[in-house]
Structure 1
Amino acid sequence: MTAPATTHTLLLLLALAIHPSVEICAPDCTNADPGTSVRDPTDCTKYYVCLLVNGEVIPSDEPVPCPDNQYFNTDHTVPRCDSINGAPQGFCSPLCDPCVPDCDGTNPGTLQPHPQDCNKYYICLSKDSKDGHFLEQDCPSGSYFDFMSGICQEDLTLCYDYCDPCVPHCTYDGQLIIDPLDCHRFYQCTPPTMSVFLCPHEKMFNIKTNICDASECYITCGGGGGRRGDKSVVVG
């Protein structure tokens, strides 16, 4: 069970208007017509198709990739895949990491899904909170967090399921991220591409300092290969 919140946090939560906030890394078909294509918020070379299912318009289960060397251009009246050659500066931004909760201190009181555990969720806190930018909470036993409505309910299909810890997620130029399968390797991001590098002299990539040193080995994939339930592990 999650540890009890501190008195400071409890007082802060009482002062906040807690409300759901749709995860920015999830595709959004709100007010879209069936058949509409919407951008994958985590990868500018992919898109989702909005589908009418049981009277509700929802995104397809998996994103559709654009052809090679193309990106999904939302500047058209009808968005489509265009060539990356000649694309305007910043065509691949903004992007987000689906495995990081959208709590940066600027949206206190909003509820966010736990990226890897549907039995939990986060309450975003303010920048000046002594407890960090979010507070982890448990859903009641046997229930799951619906990230769209911000409530715990019994339907597992309503879980946030966009985080794959076995896939590296680049969000901005120059970002350095660890290879989720090999702590001796890391990537330098230039979305939508990335370059792979090997740490020298058997050193490992430190996810806290973003440099190669003799630190512990952080394997973010967790070895499970699936989306839900994988967690970072430390190999001494």
Structure 2
Amino acid sequence: MTPQHIWIIYYYAFHLFLVLCRAPPLLTLKTEAVNLKVCGEGVVSPDPDDCASYFQCLDGAIIKEKCSSGSYFDSSWDVCVIDVDGICTPATVNCTEGELEVNPFNSCGYLKCLNGSITEVNCTSGNYFNSTLMTCTIDENGICSAIDDECIEGEIEENPEDPCGYFECINGSFEDVDCTSGTYFNSSLNICLIDENGICSAIDEKCIEGEIEENPDDPCGYLQCVDGSLEEVNCTSGTYFNSSLNICLIDENGICSLKCTEGEIEENPDDPCGYLQCVDGSLEEVNCTSGTYFNSSLNICLIDENGICSLKCTEGEIEENPDDPCGYLRCINGNLEELNCTSGSYFNSSIKVCLIDENGICSAIPEDCRDGDIEENPDDLCGYLICKDGSFSEANCTSGSYFDSSWKTCIIDENGICSSRNLVEACIEDEIESDPEECAGYLQCIDGKRVSQLCAYGSYFDSALKSCEIDYDNVCLSKSEICEEGERKEDLDDTTWYFECINGIMLSKNAKRKVTLRAV
């Protein structure tokens, strides 16, 4: 080896020594990257790389979340909103499932791709994340020891800034917990006691500006802190508020579908002869009685003097009853009503009459009763119901007798129960005449019998016109029944309703909503 070779070796050895002296030790790499800052629970921030994603702090860890399909993250409101204007084109690929990355904020853990999102994962106690090996290894050099010791689960400490609450150790970190209403935190006993001295009553209830909370009264919106007080904010149309994520998400399950208040009444835009009523949380169609229409101003059915509700059928018209071959449908007062053929006959839809049932068309129908069975007729004390061919039909007691429901037989009418009725006299079909026992009603001939009908409330039957007319002159309404305008009475059956006198008539109104329902 020549002196020149020796000089070259010394030259490079000397410079290599200088490089090694200036280089940091291998085991100290990445230790300065430890960030002891803990994120604020629930705080969200936009993802600069994906407009349809955001970061949220949950249980002290920063987790990447993704908005629902068709929505984007609005950094102004810190919520996901429906992308109506096509503002955002979400990133096609978030991460590779199972992929690991260095967590620049926590050397004692790492970031892992789970279900397409980057999630923060902590190494087990006594380990740190080796960025070279991309795995958790034993923390021989105390890389994670610089982090403050975790608290004991369930430990409680005083909150110096809030006498109405305290700090509690949850999942290794202290969190704010409020005492229940009417109590304060006693730091000596470390428990919440009844606030007899009003320690907390003098403290104005305030919130952190921009803070978002669930609105227990409205799943389609939330409460947001504005100028120190919580205000109601609605989610955009087609979304609902997710209390777990504290953001509005697309309402795929119809959580915010149209609902109503039980018993509420609304106008039916498709039918002036009826209305919509809230039943079991949904609006259902209800028809006004025959000869009336729905007045949307008063929210009640009134007499149809102007013929607003045209007849749905021609009076006396007969149609087949698709549900009953042993009967038919007949138009009575503009409505189709079910009528039965006489026993032993069926309805022939071709000639639209009842014929003798020679082929036993109706015999196949299960019998409702045994032939000869007798029951009381609730509509006629002077007769009864008798079973013939499996169905009950009406029968009359002989003149001068009535039906005794206890003995189930006709007995002599000593008390004149049936004397006021003329059962023998027949009538002309659909004929109308006044009812001597009811000035607010009339008698109508249906199937050869006079049937009592009532006019709408607030009207009477005019025997000259043979129609129901509004009772402006109190023809049928006694003086005792007339109320004083504006008078109110409590509804003992339902505290959400009350009675108010309008135009001399007591109407039922809802106390919470301006809804007039019915006359009393």
User: TM-score normalised by the shorter chain: which range applies?
Assistant: under 0.3
Report the structure, 1 or 2, having the larger strand content.
Answer: 2
Larger RCO (CA within 8 A; separation ≥ 6): 1
| TM-score normalised by L of structure 1 | 0.27
Q: Radius of gyration: which is bigger?
A: 2
| TM-score normalised by L of structure 2 | 0.15
